[in-house]
Amino acid sequence: MEINTIRKEFRKFQKLQFYDDLESNSFSLLPFNFKRLNSGRQLIISMVGDYLIVPKGTVENLLKKNIDNIDEDLYYDLLSNHIVSDSKDVKSLELLANRYRAKKTNAFNFAQLHIFVITLRCEHTCQYCQVSRVSQNKEKFDFSHLNLYKGINLMLASPEKNITMEFQGGEALLAFDLIKDAISYTKDKARLVNKKINYVICTNLAPINDEILEYCKLEKILVSCSLDGHEELHNENRKRPGRNSYSLVEKGLNLSFDIVGRENVSALMTTTTLSLEHPIKIIDEYRKFGFNSVFLRPISPYGFATKNKNSNYQTIEFIKFYSKGLDYILELNRKGEYFKETYTAILLKKILTAFSENYVDLMSPSGLINSVIVYDYDGKIFLSDEARMLAQMKDFTFQIGTVNDSWKKLLNNPIIEKIGDAGVNDYMAGCSTCAYNIYCGADPVLHHATQGDMYGFRPDSSFCQRNMSVLDIIFEKIDTEPDALDIFKSWVNNE
């Protein structure tokens, strides 16, 4: 009763004098960073990701504690966005610590995504594929039942209660019987340890049929397919005998929509040199199939992909492609069509909400171990899909063991400790002073692959260049296009 009385009093406003006094009080800075926008205004970002676009000279005024040059409304914005504090009480930092913890939630998790490369066999010979292609007939490139069950046992012995089990290839559906065995085994075991498993099959849709889809419907399996764009582009990127990849995707997508429902089907594209000229055609292709989003995704610079001329382009070329695509998507939204770009939406969730997004590339501490584990067809265990691709080039740096090992042994691998250092951007050269670091990641695997150093050299890093450019584009739009923020908010709220 007494506590309730106190709480009620907490809710009361203070007398007016209390707020007048606040203005004359001195303030102190809280951790923030800034950068200059093209308009001359300054973008200020707090350590928990709250942002403000402020007049030129604001940062300088804050450092000089020149409160007379700061507008009253701006001062209260700075207070409420945790850029400055008017309290000397250390307890006022409690909220900031909780906000920071919310932003870094992933650091407290273990992998929720467990990828099983069920087979390396594939009937496509996509020019950008990161793994070497193996003909359909080599059964030795499938997971053995013994290794598969050992991998599943490891997955079920990991701490997370909600787990996504994703089947990849090669072409995963070439080993459909093995997938059925895996799911049957997992279902029985998961029940005993009280875990909820969500299933995903990644496929090029070529082998899909009614039987497979009926099974997916029964087991509530999500279908994730590859769709690179319009027919000419898709067939050029994704070669197969008969040059009919697109028509198989078209047929497979429509069949999937009919049987498992649109909400259980997603598509992913990969940008090649051939794609760079066609952002609008690619987006229109996704619209044609009724999707309300597209992930304009650059190629991963790993494995087999690095050897192909159509897989090698400069980051700046990708940014032009992305920028043109985003402009087009914003125009669609202005005309009343809800359509979003997925990478932008991931960043916007970090920018516009108190939370983060479980996207491996954009996590600090790194999402390796915290987010994803990959079991390769031969029983090897890797820290990410990209790490597995590297292994195709005989670089096993990020292999932590095999399905024969225990978690204790796997997690004692020295590479885990190295990633602990190289996977935190707050204290890395080039990142620690970057205004965007709370939205960004570290990606030690990419830097190891492209620069031979897990820490990486930011001025020459394609990862850094891409993320800085994309974030620059987002904030320039918020600064100069009056309706952009409302559209971006609708993407975050899915409305």
Partner 1 sequence: MLVTLQKSIYSIEAIRNTVYWFSKNFEILISEQSDVFELSCVEFSEKNKKEFIQSLNDFSLREQINIETKDVKNLVVSKAFYPDLVKFKDIGEFDDPINILKRNGN
The binding site for partner 1 (CB under 8 A) comprises: 6, 9-10, 14, 28-36, 47, 59-60, 63, 87, 89-94, 96-98, 100-101, 104, 107, 426, 429-430, 433, 457-460
- Minimum Å gap between C-beta 317 and partner 1 is 18
- Minimum Å gap between C-beta 97 and partner 1 is 4
- Minimum Å gap between C-beta 41 and partner 1 is 14
Please state, as a whole number, how many other Cβ atoms lie within 10 Å of the Cβ of residue 459. 9
Instruction: Name the helix (H) or strand (E) containing 266.
Output: strand 265-268
The DSSP secondary-structure symbol of 336 reads T
Tell me how far apart the alpha carbons of residues 63 and 56 are, in angstroms, rounded to a whole number: 13
Nearer to partner 1, 58 or 127 (CB): 58
Nearer to partner 1, 316 or 429 (CB): 429
- Minimum Å gap between C-beta 85 and partner 1 is 8
- Minimum Å gap between C-beta 95 and partner 1 is 10
Nearer to partner 1, 194 or 433 (CB): 433
Nearer to partner 1, 55 or 430 (CB): 430
**Residues listed for the chain:** 495
- Minimum Å gap between C-beta 196 and partner 1 is 27
Nearer to partner 1, 97 or 146 (CB): 97
- Minimum Å gap between C-beta 452 and partner 1 is 16
- Minimum Å gap between C-beta 467 and partner 1 is 15
The DSSP result for 423-462, as a single string, is T-GGGSTTTTT-TTTTT----HHHHHHHHS-SS--GGG-H
Q: 3-state DSSP call for residue 81?
A: coil
The DSSP secondary-structure symbol of 28 reads E
Nearer to partner 1, 22 or 276 (CB): 22
Nearer to partner 1, 14 or 194 (CB): 14
Nearer to partner 1, 245 or 462 (CB): 462
**Buried residues in 381-414 as b, exposed as e (16+ CB within 10 A):** bbbbbbbbbbbbeeeebbbbbbbebeeeebeebe
CA distances from 108 to 101, 103, 315 (A): 9, 11, 32
Tell me how far apart the alpha carbons of residues 29 and 87 are, in angstroms, rounded to a whole number: 10
Nearer to partner 1, 105 or 132 (CB): 105
Phi and psi of 163, rounded to 5°?
-125, 140
Instruction: Name the helix (H) or strand (E) containing 331.
Output: helix 315-334
Nearer to partner 1, 107 or 255 (CB): 107
Angle at 311 between CA 309 and CA 314, to 5 degrees: 95
**Buried residues in 102-137 as b, exposed as e (16+ CB within 10 A):** ebbebbeeebbbbbbbbbbbbbbebbbbbbebbeee
Tell me how far apart the alpha carbons of residues 96 and 215 are, in angstroms, rounded to a whole number: 48
Nearer to partner 1, 39 or 209 (CB): 39
CA distances from 213 to 188, 195, 236 (A): 22, 24, 27
- Minimum Å gap between C-beta 461 and partner 1 is 10
- Strands of 42-46's sheet, edge to edge? 32-36, 42-46, 51-54
Tell me how far apart the alpha carbons of residues 38 and 290 are, in angstroms, rounded to a whole number: 37
- Minimum Å gap between C-beta 318 and partner 1 is 18
- Minimum Å gap between C-beta 480 and partner 1 is 21
Residue 108 in contact with residue 363, Cβ under 8 Å?
no
